[in-house]
Amino acid sequence: MVQLKLLGPVECETDDGRPLALGSGRIRTVTAVLISEVNQVVTLSRLIDLAWDVEPPASARGVVHNHVHRLRQLLAGHAELATRGQGYVLLADPCTVDVHRFQSLVSAAREAEPQAAVTMLGRALGLWRGEALADVPGDRVRRTVGAGLAQARVAALHELGAQLLLLGRYGEVVTELTAWIAEHPLHEELTALLMRALQASGRQAEALEHYHRTRRHLKDQLGIDPGRVLGEAYLAVLGGSGAAAPQGPARPPTAPPPAVPYTVDHGPAPLPLVAQLPPGIPDFCGRERELAVLDQHLERVPRPHCVVLAGGGGAGKTTLAVQWAHGLRAEFPDGQLFADLRGFERPPMRAGTVLSSFLLSLGVPEARIPESVAERAALYRSLLAGRRMLVLLDNAGTAEQTRPLLPSTPGCLAVVTSRRRLSGLVVRDGAVLVTVGALAPGDAMQLLGNALGRQRIEADPAAARALVEWCERLPLALRIAAARLMAHPEWPLECWTKKLADERRRLQELSADDADLAVEANLYLSYRALSSGAARLFRVLGLHPGPGVELPAAAALAGQDLERTRRHLAELCDAHLLHEQAQGHFVRSELVRLYAAQRVASEESRSAQDQAVRRLLDHFTRPRPARG
């Protein structure tokens, strides 16, 4: 086990407190990026981009490779630094990363009572040892990774101050904030908290001094006047500045004035026009069946308020959703909202964060956005009431992540894409489910032709058809293949088709320069989201040679009883890694089979694989009871 630290100088420590000798220079940049995205693939191109503030030299790839090799040696026996496609992933328990512990404590504090919240926030802020990534060379990585951490630190400090105010512990507020504000004099909300604490302690003159100092900094450095929060604190201090300071015991806690509630007005002040849909893909083709099904649902009475597009990674769900949504803009003249929920990434987007973004887009001032998710969702739905808006929620992970973002007014529609079926939305919320699978053969050929050009396809139609089938008619795989072929216009199609025919190389060939756009990386995201039992079943199914497997054979491979295996098979079907073709008979694509074989080879010991194969052979050779 190793402790990974970014909240200060970058450090890697063993459990006994022994620091690993990282050295200096760009190895610290590489280490910082890998730690910040622990358990996620970081592409080589991204590491290079962050390691140099200027145009990287020709030797950049080799330099990064050397740093990764050195880091892998240092971490041996403590954490695994693995190669994944065109990138690397640092595999470690997130709880060993100080950033993760900081975020977990801050998140827990938001749900806790003030006294417990103060304790948690104190522990969270105590993890900081200075400026995040303090010894990392180069500005780019500090702007990319460090800036967000710095903002989170300020937010936690603000929350700590607010909770201490609620408890009447004004002296601690002054102690916590005074030194920070001296170094960061432009933070208006922190200054407002400090002013309220000084006012409650009878120190109005000091509070006003802080206000005027901050106002001068804002004017001199940014050319702006104080905002609403600081202005309200100033007026509050002025209102109490004429009172004599209390003698004897300290005055009782004075709560800050209540926030002005945000009112919804459907009168003369309309909502700002919101048009957040991503651009459509110009060469979109096919999907007539899915588009027809979606249109039919839209014509139902009453019309559903949520449509879920579910399918495996790389099936083109987002492209289809965006294409359909653009065609519906006339149906929803009040605007379109869009959010990528990153449901299968770590961390996923929080519903509260998305609601805050939506409310800002709908014209709500940041200071008037409620704190709790439930209050934000209520305000969001109130703003949409009586309007006709479309909300596209891409890449949802769970029904729980999505539910607070669903509009409730009949004139609005939510379109949700996910690798899962999100049955909770269908059962509880009345959503309709549309499955997105592979393209029809003709549509897949058309997509390849749109990307490569008709002449190249017509020069060897047989090779083009073979390439389409090796890609299993998946839009992502087809676009990767087209990109590789466009980079080599001299290659005949047959040359690359032969590469894909070799199953040992197929997943490797179906990867772009960006590892996030590889078929293997897409399968990994679905695999990583599985429960441990379903993930193990997925792996051992990689030992099964055929495309289909029966329930009893799967149970034999896993060494589990039928009922538990049935539940895990259902989870794999929900993730679109399997398909139940008939009751108890499950099939998978060849790309999924190859990926499962790769996972079992890398994660299961040879003895465990041999035992699973023996159980499967015993299952097939065991005498069957005679049928009467």
pLDDT digits (tens, 9 = 90+) for 99-115: 999 999 999 998 888 89
What's the CA gap between 179 and 183, in Å, rounded?
7
Q: What is the mean pLDDT of residues 249-256?
A: 34
More confident residue, 491 or 465: 465
User: Is the pLDDT reported for residue 514 higher than 70?
Assistant: no
263 falls in which pLDDT band (50, 70, 90)?
A: very low
Give which of 221, 149, 141 is closest to 184, Cα–Cα: 221
Measured in Å, how far apart are the chain's first and last C-alpha atoms? 59
- Element (DSSP H or E) covering residue 84: strand 80-84
Q: What is the mean pLDDT of residues 603-613?
A: 92
User: Is the pLDDT reported for residue 344 higher than 80?
Assistant: yes
627 falls in which pLDDT band (50, 70, 90)?
A: low
CATH class belonging to 274-435: alpha beta
Query: Phi and psi at residue 432, in whole multiples of 5°?
Result: -105, 145
264 falls in which pLDDT band (50, 70, 90)?
A: very low
What's the CA gap between 200 and 563, in Å, rounded?
64
CB atoms within 10 A of CB 39: 13
- Select the highest-mean-pLDDT range: 172-181, 270-279, 434-443: 434-443
**Mean model confidence pLDDT for the chain:** 86
What's the CA gap between 423 and 430, in Å, rounded?
10
User: Is the pLDDT reported for residue 51 higher than 80?
Assistant: yes
> For 1-167, CATH number?
1.10.10.10
25 falls in which pLDDT band (50, 70, 90)?
A: confident
Lowest mean pLDDT among 131-140, 543-552, 584-593: 131-140
User: Is the pLDDT reported for residue 77 higher than 90?
Assistant: no
Residue 252 pLDDT: 35
Give which of 394, 442, 439 is closest to 414, Cα–Cα: 394
CATH class belonging to 530-621: mainly alpha
523-27-4-89 Cα dihedral, nearest 10 degrees? 10
Q: What is the mean pLDDT of residues 293-301?
A: 87
Residue 187 pLDDT: 84
Lowest mean pLDDT among 45-59, 330-344, 466-480: 45-59
Residue 546 pLDDT: 83
Assess contact for 308 and 416: CB atoms under 8 A: yes
Residue 269 pLDDT: 43
Residue 53 pLDDT: 81
Assess contact for 311 and 419: CB atoms under 8 A: yes
The pTM for the full model equals 0.58
23 falls in which pLDDT band (50, 70, 90)?
A: confident
What's the CA gap between 354 and 365, in Å, rounded?
15
Q: What is the mean pLDDT of residues 299-313?
A: 90
Residue 229 pLDDT: 83
123 falls in which pLDDT band (50, 70, 90)?
A: very high
CB atoms within 10 A of CB 274: 18
367 falls in which pLDDT band (50, 70, 90)?
A: confident
User: Is the pLDDT reported for residue 590 higher than 90?
Assistant: yes
Q: What is the mean pLDDT of residues 183-205?
A: 86
What's the CA gap between 527 and 540, in Å, rounded?
13
